[in-house]
Chain A
Amino acid sequence: MATTGDGVLKGRDAGWIFPGHPPFWVPVRNYGLYDTDFAFRLEGIPEPTTAILALFGLAALGRRR
């Protein structure tokens, strides 16, 4: 899966801040000079690869029996 971003919330990736009651989100850029720095990284498993391999393995096991 492609990764992107430079950790700066701007443009399309402006980021949104939720200061009050949903669904009232405000783009961070509306704070004028201020921006907010929020870096995050998500790690885990791309499901299709693991799932397909697992199913294939189970199917092969079933045929052997």
Chain B
Amino acid sequence: MRIQMGLVGLLAVCVGGSAHADVLWDNGSFDGRSGLSSNSLWETWTADDFIVAAPIRIEQATAEFYVDPPADGPFELADIGVWTEPVPGEGPQDLVVELRNLPISSEKIGEGFGYDIIAATVEGLGIELEPGDYFFSMRLRALFGGLLLGHDGRRGSQRS
């Protein structure tokens, strides 16, 4: 009986651990001191590095960035990219995760340098990564004059 109770407790810990999301990486707050749009929506990814010390599974990503003012909200979709950085300091190399058109929750949290500052959150990612150096990027998909821009920089298709 004691062993069974211990087992139940152990399994509860396992389930609890699975349900609880830890902060795996936080590259800091949005400081508003710089003025280049970090998501120009025109063929660009802006990425920053993060380091994985032990295997992880990323379930949620939250990003804050400048967005060009011509983009019309609300922002409901985003793309996510993860690249390896085999040589530290050399920048992104191989694209190992590319997820497109992910449903997001987003809100405008401010303005700066003529850009809107948008915070966006994606849940349910399930990205598993082995230890290593990586770069991460999130990019909103948005409307420019009624055209939904594609991740590849083409103006994409009309949003239906």
Contacts and interface: CB of A to CB of B under 8 A. Distances in A.
Contact of B92 (A25, A40, A64): A25
Contacts of B32: 37
Interface string A19-38: 11011010110010011111
User: Interface size bucket, B side?
Assistant: 35 or more
Interface string B4-28: 1001001101100110111111111
Contact of B28 (A8, A49, A60): A8
Contacts of A64: 3-4, 7
A31 B128 CA distance: 33
A37 B38 contact: yes
Interface residues of A, number: 47
B61 interface: yes
Given A53-B13, A64-B4, A34 B35 contact: yes
Contacts, number: 204
B3 A47 contact: no
Given A15-B47, A42-B50, A53-B17, A5 B26 contact: yes
A10 B2 CA distance: 56
A15 B46 contact: yes
A44 B58 contact: yes
Interface string B25-52: 1111111111111110001111111111
Contact of A46 (B22, B91, B127): B22
Nearest to A11: B89
Contacts of A54: 14, 18
Contact of B24 (A1, A20, A50, A53): A1
B138 interface: yes
B125 interface: yes
A55 B26 CA distance: 29
A38 B137 CA distance: 9
B56 interface: yes
Contact of A19 (B35, B43, B56): B43
Given A1-B25, A39-B63, 9 more contacts: A13-B27, A19-B43, A38-B137, A39-B30, A41-B27, A43-B23, A43-B59, A44-B125, A48-B54
